[in-house]
Chain A
């Protein structure tokens, strides 16, 4: 291969990228391109313990990471066919818009603005939380009202940044924001005392306390949740088939918990008389082919990843470093907000 040829190929590639609009992925056919590629590209948080973080061996683990695995299990029948793309809060939207990732499961709060102006579609929320505050125990701050005049560390480009402004404005209090993109630098600024409080989604703060502070006992979470943060998987607008699949994988995990189907008993449950269970596990109906995947899609999700309760317990359950009450994240039958649409 001569030099000239290589140069021409390179020039062609650059030309295509700029002029052909290859920078923006074609809408439609995400499922086909995922299948052809042989792996799912999943956008995740670089380090939010409990939700998504690489462990000491470099393997990704966490609640949101498991939802990436669940989608891969539905598409390929193999939960491991995922490549994780770590995205900062500022990189996440361009990454999904440009087709760099197929799905964004990265602590994204579903809002009207993002749904419309950013050209996204949100699957059903998989985690309900709100803005929380972590403060130094020795500061004597007991409630958010005690924070008048405080310096608050906050990540840029997050809904949290707006929430803080609103929370303080409605209480007629003042504050000074310190806005740092790099998560390590941000947490460090709080820990060293540059800020009086660190604000993030309340569900993310126990992870910060457990992993990023020297002595977790010196930091306390303020009581109360101060905004609505429904965290949901996001896909590009204009590809209904792919949107449907992500949506129904989410519902399948809710329904499996409701029907009592777990990764342990799924095989036995296949012989159940319950039509809902039969539909879920692909024993009856052609729901898989309607979604464009195999009939045992939900069975694969449940056996390889688990139902909602199993996924939750794995990362936030008793004994995990980031223990969290299920709170709003319980089934509707238990008074929570998780309500899986029927697979019929």
Chain B
């Protein structure tokens, strides 16, 4: 059957007819796609219309106009200025930023613990590997919501503010959170932040140059110390030029709470520990699987060629392990972000917690849920996109 495209058997010029069009594979695929899309859009519109009509019949308010109304409620933890006089829309942004901050800290912590435990799992040290195995089995087999409540109850039973545990004169541990001294705010700090970013960019550019240089000339340039120097040195230089301000804001007990310093709330900590430990168990297993995916023969071969163990890990094991690790790691990150919505149980003002309040104050459940779903979808898709980009970087490239 070589002439399915309808060309004439005797070699005459092929004629386009209705039947040839019907049998054309691409035409049929296109039609199916269009029909499917139409059905999906129709169902979507139908459902939307149904909801709107039902709500109207019930005299329930609809629309997103409420986002601009005054919220009239306060939020405990906020990264941007917010008061009860601000709008519901801004309240959502406060919640979003809180979700992002606990998720970012969670991903960092989970990755750190996950990699450490994952590597320990395949350690030749019997005790270390058994302890790591026990850790993994405990944290990933207890529901994450129970773990979060456990940490929350534990932190709540720390001593109260009057009996605060003082930590070496720089901080206090109470059931109101961990309060510690920080450098007093100074205008130079924002410039130091810029210097830090500049240092990191320069370090990355430097290592790219070093690799090109090595590939073209064969001489190896160690960029480790210059990189560290750039990243730490630039902010320190800026600090010195700014008059080296050394004022420290110490927490002092005043009234009900501490004044000065920075406080990390127990709600944030409980949520962070809960979701990060849970995810770290899965990440440890992913890392172990990735490391074990490198054939032993390759490692032995690399060693017999006289490479140092660190070099073997960096240039033989890791490039192959990351290929296996990154895709499942992405889904762990995404699920950690979604797990952060457990905040509602312990009272951390994340997107869902604030969304719930908004929903109740305005009564516009459909719209408030829609906003929350859209935001989570967006965060998760951005995370996946970034991780897929990283995956393409570490994937095996045909040269």
Contact = CB atoms under 8 A, between A and B. Distances in A.
Interface in A48-65: none
Interface of B: 46-47, 50, 53-55, 57-61, 72-76, 83-84, 149, 152-153, 156-157, 160-161, 175-176, 255-257, 266-267, 344-347, 349, 353, 356-357, 359-365
By Cβ-Cβ distance, the 6 closest A-B pairs, closest first, are: A157-B360, A180-B347, A165-B84, A117-B61, A119-B59, A118-B363
Contacts of B267: 178
A156 B353 contact: yes
Interface of A: 18-19, 21, 23-24, 27, 89-90, 93-94, 97, 113-114, 116-119, 147-151, 156-158, 161-162, 164-166, 168-169, 175-182, 185-186, 188-189, 192-194, 196, 236-238
A161 B357 contact: yes
A179 B73 CA distance: 11
A166 B72 contact: yes
B72 A24 contact: no
B255 A148 contact: yes
Given A93-B360, A150-B256, A27 B349 contact: no
Contacts of A188: 153, 156
A175 B60 contact: no
25 contacts: A23-B54, A24-B57, A27-B57, A148-B255, A149-B255, A150-B255, A150-B256, A156-B353, A157-B360, A161-B357, A162-B73, A162-B361, A164-B74, A165-B73, A178-B76, A179-B349, A180-B347, A181-B356, A185-B152, A186-B347, A188-B153, A188-B156, A192-B175, A236-B58, A238-B58
Given A119-B59, A162-B73, A169-B84, 19 more contacts: A19-B47, A21-B50, A21-B54, A24-B57, A27-B58, A117-B362, A117-B363, A156-B353, A156-B356, A156-B357, A161-B361, A168-B74, A179-B75, A179-B353, A179-B357, A181-B344, A185-B347, A189-B156, A237-B58
Nearest to B156: A192
A260 B353 CA distance: 48
A149 B263 CA distance: 14
Contacts of B345: 180-182, 185
Contact of A151 (B59, B256, B357): B256
A237 B356 CA distance: 23
Given A117-B60, A179-B353, A238-B59, A166 B84 contact: yes
Given A93-B363, A94-B365, A177 B157 contact: no
Most A Cβ at <10 Å: residue of B58, B149, B255: B58
A236 to B, nearest CB: 7
B344 to A, nearest CB: 6
Most A Cβ at <10 Å: residue of B54, B57, B73, B83: B73
A193 B360 contact: no
A138 B255 CA distance: 14
B74 A177 contact: yes
Contacts of B73: 161-162, 165, 177
A134 to B, nearest CB: 15
Most A Cβ at <10 Å: residue of B53, B74, B156: B74
Nearest to A195: B176
A119 B58 contact: yes
A169 B86 CA distance: 13
Contacts of A97: 58, 60
Nearest to B153: A188
A164 B75 CA distance: 11
A162 B364 CA distance: 17
Contacts of B255: 148-150
A19 B74 contact: no
A175 B84 CA distance: 12
A90 B363 CA distance: 10
Contacts of A149: 255-257
Most A Cβ at <10 Å: residue of B175, B344, B346, B361: B361
B60 A118 contact: yes
A147 B61 CA distance: 37
A196 B72 CA distance: 22
A169 B54 CA distance: 39
B228 to A, nearest CB: 40
A184 B53 CA distance: 38
B61 A19 contact: no
A161 B72 CA distance: 8
B72 A151 contact: no
Contacts of B359: 90, 157
A167 to B, nearest CB: 11
A93 B365 CA distance: 9
Contacts of A93: 360, 363, 365
Contact of B257 (A151, A165, A182): A151
A76 to B, nearest CB: 27
Most B Cβ at <10 Å: residue of A93, A148, A180: A180
Contacts of B55: 24
Contacts of B72: 162, 165-166
A180 B161 CA distance: 21
Contact of A24 (B54, B83, B156): B54
A114 B363 CA distance: 8
Nearest to B362: A117
Given A27-B58, A93-B363, A175 B175 contact: no
B365 A176 contact: no
Contacts of B360: 89-90, 93, 156-158
A196 B76 contact: no
Given A97-B60, A162-B72, A177-B75, A194 B362 contact: no
A157 B356 contact: yes
Most A Cβ at <10 Å: residue of B53, B156, B357: B357
